[in-house]
Amino acid sequence: MKTTRILFPILFSLTSIASCTNANNNQKIAIIQLGTHTSLNEINEAIQKKIKSHEGYQIVYKNAEFSLDVASQIVSSLKGQVDLAIAIATPIAQACYNGFSDNTPIVFAAVSDPVGAGLIKDIDAPEGNITGTSDAIQVDSILDKALLIDPELDELGFIYNPAEANSVSNKNKIEAYCASHEIAFNAASISAAGEMKEIASALINRVDAIFVTDDNTVASAMSVLGEECRKAKKPCYVGADSMVKDGGMFSIGIDYTVLGEETGQMAIDILKGKKISEVPVKIYDEDLKIYLNKAYVDEIGITIPSSILEDPNLVEVNE
């Protein structure tokens, strides 16, 4: 009897430890990416690196390749199979929000306007099962610099996919900025990356510059857009550093690796027990960098003001 009494607590303790260990080892994190382009790839790589720096988590990675039908199928296949989902880009965040049950925590990455996308009401104290990181585009700051580069900017072109809520939100901001600065605004819609050459070549001849934000359809055809703008010798302002690397001329924003790392850490914190209501949406609107494609500038022959070239936050890209 004494032996039994001594062994039972020990066995119970070992069982408890094993249960905790197995539970942690079995925690699965689904990372669902909208499609393949530089910005989203950079975010995914940073998220995975952050998660892998912690022991005991399994990653299930899926890529919808810009198909909302595929995204919906991915979410359906993962229902009840994962402990947390990370959604990269607004359309995937919406698919996860609509597809997973309230019991599955969701952390979104690079959602420009989570309130406008219908994902959340209070970014400071999320009320449901979703939170994440926002790459809110610095519309006013970018266009302020565009007017420094070209004070005679009279007409601005904008290319976007109306199916992306983030793009519609940014379109409204840009249109309002142009109205207040007496700049004509000319928008063109795109539904697939393969349409970019035709749309860009038609639009660029009617405007003084092009501005595109974090539209995923546009980003996947950024090299084509950059080429068309260079041929026309006109600036192409973009909403992300990776879009400068892929052919754009100028941007003000965050480093997407930093955003990805923060997204991954949010996921770990939640799986370790932190309530989503205690994880506010992280909006990157401070300590921003200026990204300038020096090769682009040299090729089209424009002069960048010294106030930009001498800015300590300037990052020069040569692509």
CATH no. for 139-253+288-317:
3.40.50.2300
Long-range CB contacts (within 8 A, 24+) of 275-278: 276/105, 276/126, 276/128, 276/129, 276/130, 276/131, 277/125, 277/126, 277/127, 278/125
4-37, pLDDT tens digit by residue? 333 333 333 333 333 333 344 579 999 999 999 9
Computed on alpha carbons and rounded to an integer, the radius of gyration of the chain in Å comes to 23
Beta bridge partners of 33: 63, 88
89-132, pLDDT tens digit by residue? 999 999 999 999 889 999 999 999 999 999 999 999 999 999 99
CATH no. for 2-135+256-283:
3.40.50.2300
Write down the residue that tokens 């939640």 correspond to: 270
Whether 2-135+256-283 and 139-253+288-317 share one fold: the answer is: yes
**SS3 state at 196:** helix
CB 78 within 8 A of CB 72: no
152-191, pLDDT tens digit by residue? 999 999 999 999 988 999 999 999 999 999 999 999 999 9
On the question of pLDDT at 271 being above 90, the answer is yes
221-264, pLDDT tens digit by residue? 999 999 999 999 999 999 999 899 999 999 999 889 999 999 99
Taking the C-alpha atoms of residue 143 and residue 141, their distance in angstroms, rounded to an integer, is 6
Residue-level pLDDT at 4? 38
Domain boundaries, the chain: 2-135+256-283, 139-253+288-317
Share of the chain above pLDDT 70, in %: 92
Q: What is the DSSP string of 61-122?
A: EEE-TT-HHHHHHHHHHHTTT-SEEEEESHHHHHHHHHHS-TTS-EEEES-S-TTTTTS-S-
Has this prediction a pTM greater than 0.75?
A: yes
